[in-house]
Chains A and B, each alone.
Chain A
Amino acid sequence: MNLVTDLQAILVGIPLTIVLTLIAFAIGATLGLPLCAMRMSRNVFVRFLATALILVLRAIPPIVWLFIIFFGIGFGYLQLDPFSSAAIGLGLITAANMAEIYRGALSAIHAGQWEAANALSLSPRHRFIDVVGPQLMRISLPSAATYVIGLLKDSAVASAIGVHEIAFQAYHVSQETFRGLDVYAAAGLLYILISLPIAWLARWTDLRLRARVAR
Chain B
Amino acid sequence: MNDVFAFWGEWFPTLVAGFELSLEVTVVCLLFGLPLGLLLALGVQSKSRAQRWTSLTLVEIGRGTPVLILLQFAYFGLPSAGLTLSSFTAAGFALAWCTGAYTSEIIRAGLEAVPFGQREAAIAIGLDQRDVLRYVILPQGLRVAVPALLGFAILMLQATSLCFTIALPEVVSQAYIVGSNTFRYMPIFLLTAMMFAAVCIPATICVSVLERRLGRHEAVP
Contact of A59 among B80, B159, B204 (CB under 8 A): B204
In the complex, B39 has a CB within 8 A of chain A: no
In the complex, A214 has a CB within 8 A of chain B: no
In the complex, B103 has a CB within 8 A of chain A: no
In the complex, A56 has a CB within 8 A of chain B: yes
In the complex, A85 has a CB within 8 A of chain B: no
Number of interface residues of B (CB under 8 A): 40
Which residues in A have their C-beta under 8 angstroms from that of B183?
75
Q: Mask for A19-44, Cβ within 8 A of B = 1, else 0?
A: 00000000000000000000000000
Q: Do residues B197 and A180 form an inter-chain contact, with CB atoms below 8 A?
A: no
Q: Mask for A44-63, Cβ within 8 A of B = 1, else 0?
A: 00000000000110111101
A56 — nearest CB in chain B belongs to which residue? B197
Which residues in B have their C-beta under 8 angstroms from that of A155?
66
Supposing A75-B183, A167-B66 touch, asked if A60 and B196 sit within 8 A by C-beta, the answer is yes
Within 8 A of B (CB), among A153-199: 153-157, 159-160, 167, 170-171, 174-175, 178-181, 183-185, 187-189, 191-192, 195
Q: Do residues A64 and B201 form an inter-chain contact, with CB atoms below 8 A?
A: no
CA distance A55 to B196 in the complex (A): 11
A72 — nearest CB in chain B belongs to which residue? B186
A-side interface mostly: helix
Contact of A61 among B65, B70, B76, B161 (CB under 8 A): B161
In the complex, B176 has a CB within 8 A of chain A: yes
B-side interface mostly: helix
Q: Do residues A179 and B164 form an inter-chain contact, with CB atoms below 8 A?
A: no
CA distance A76 to B179 in the complex (A): 13
Closest 3 CB pairs of A and B: A188-B65, A180-B77, A59-B200
Interface residues on A, range: 35 or more
Q: Do residues B186 and A68 form an inter-chain contact, with CB atoms below 8 A?
A: yes
Which residues in B have their C-beta under 8 angstroms from that of A114?
none
A65 — nearest CB in chain B belongs to which residue? B193
Q: Do residues A181 and B200 form an inter-chain contact, with CB atoms below 8 A?
A: no
In the complex, B61 has a CB within 8 A of chain A: yes
In the complex, A71 has a CB within 8 A of chain B: yes
Q: Do residues A71 and B185 form an inter-chain contact, with CB atoms below 8 A?
A: yes
CA distance A193 to B175 in the complex (A): 35
Which residues in B have their C-beta under 8 angstroms from that of A3?
none
Contact of A185 among B67, B73, B164, B176 (CB under 8 A): B73
CA distance A59 to B192 in the complex (A): 12
Which residues in A have their C-beta under 8 angstroms from that of B79?
180
CA distance A153 to B128 in the complex (A): 42
Q: Do residues A160 and B165 form an inter-chain contact, with CB atoms below 8 A?
A: yes
CA distance A58 to B186 in the complex (A): 19
CA distance A75 to B15 in the complex (A): 21
In the complex, A73 has a CB within 8 A of chain B: yes
